Structure 1
Amino acid sequence: MTALVLLVVAAPVCFYVAFSDLRSMRIPNWTVVMLFVLFAIFGPVLMPLPEYGWQLLHMPILLILGMVVNAVGLAGAGDAKFLAAAGPYLWVADLQVLIVIFAASLSAAYLSHRLAKYTALRALAPHWQSWSAGRKFPMGLPLAGTLVIYLALGAF
């Protein structure tokens, strides 16, 4: 039940994050704040307070990790902030499953983005900045996809 409720509240934000990153190569700060606020509102209702506290601890840990990854140039700042805001939604015990979901999501996102970029599908959204971002890739797409798939698997 917890995963289902979190899926319902987080999925619209995740879809917007993916769209925004594809369109403008940016993850707006308000979406990251919204994702965290939704967990802050629904988390205490859905889980015991000690568990909720442990889940909240994921955010600063992932934010620090994301800052390091951003500092060495492996990801954008928006990606790091999104990962931190998504942290409370993720259970540490599911780390192996998360890695598999992320790998599949990243592969599918990259392949489908590049396929669309070099085919007539690009005409459906000709002004997206992600088409001409060179080697940069809109990581908001696989990150948001990973969170949605993870919560959906937990819910169903």
Structure 2
Amino acid sequence: MVILAGSAEVARWFLPFVLPLCFAAAYTDLSSMRIPNWINDSLGAVYVILGLFIMPTWADYGWHLLHLPIGVAFGFLFFTAGVMGAGDAKFIGAAAPLVVLADLPALVIIYTANLLAAFATHRLVKYTPLRKLAPDWQSWSVGNKFPMGFSLGGTLAIYLILVACFGR
């Protein structure tokens, strides 16, 4: 059994607010190849507002809040390198306060597995008759580009669910 450093109780409080935003990020990126600012702003606001009430200490709250600008900085490094879009970079920044630093190795493993699965699923559907289920999605016709929000939203959702189940 894997024990994650994040608090299971805190993750359970965040889940009902964060899961719909993860779904929205994945859906909008698949359908229109963009993650709207309202999703990233809402994700950040969930931590800023709800975190005030559920984080164990003020030090924990402040430390996790510091993850936001650091996450944005890393996201924009990836954006500048052409690895992902600006919405993806902002999503990483907005999601960063929800991740415990000690869980970063686990998060990288979750992200890697999820990225591979999301990419394979997207390509499988793109080149099969399943594509008819959502024929107007822009992600089918953008060449080699991939909607990273699909895997980023899934990664955050999986991480929080795992912390809620197996956290300390």
Report runs of 4+ in structure 1 exceeding 3 Å deviation. Answer: none
Aligned match for 2:148, one of 139, 142, 152: 139
Aligned match for 1:24, one of 19, 32, 43: 32
Distance (Å, rounded) in 1 between the aligned partners of 2:81 and 2:157: 27
Q: Which amino acid aligns with 1:8?
A: P
Unmatched 5+ stretches in structure 1: none
Aligned match for 2:80, one of 59, 71, 74: 71
For residue 124 of structure 1, what is the aligned residue in structure 2? Answer: 133
Q: Which amino acid aligns with 1:33?
A: D
Q: Normalising by structure 1, report the TM-score.
A: 0.98
Paired residues for 1:53-132 under 5 Å: 53-132=62-141
Aligned match for 1:45, one of 41, 47, 53: 53
Q: Which amino acid aligns with 1:71?
A: T
C-alpha displacement of 1:100: 0.6
Distance (Å, rounded) in 2 between the aligned partners of 1:99 and 1:71: 21
Q: Which amino acid aligns with 2:63?
A: W
Distance (Å, rounded) in 2 between the aligned partners of 1:19 and 1:126: 14
Aligned length: 156
Aligned match for 2:41, one of 33, 38, 47: 33
Aligned match for 1:148, one of 151, 157, 167: 157
C-alpha displacement of 1:72: 1.4
CA RMSD of the aligned region, Å?
A: 0.6
Q: Deviations over 1:14-73 (max 9, x none)?
A: 101100000000000000000010111111111111101000101101111111111111
C-alpha displacement of 1:146: 0.5
Unmatched 5+ stretches in structure 2: 1-8
Distance (Å, rounded) in 1 between the aligned partners of 2:155 and 2:141: 24
Q: Normalising by structure 2, report the TM-score.
A: 0.91
Overall identity of the aligned pairs, in %: 51
For residue 15 of structure 1, what is the aligned residue in structure 2? Answer: 23
Q: Which amino acid aligns with 1:65?
A: F
Distance (Å, rounded) in 2 between the aligned partners of 1:73 and 1:62: 17
Distance (Å, rounded) in 1 between the aligned partners of 2:95 and 2:41: 10
Greater Cα shift, 43-52 or 26-35: 43-52
Q: Deviations over 1:65-108 (max 9, x none)?
A: 11111111111100000000000000110011001100111011
Q: Which amino acid aligns with 1:112?
A: T
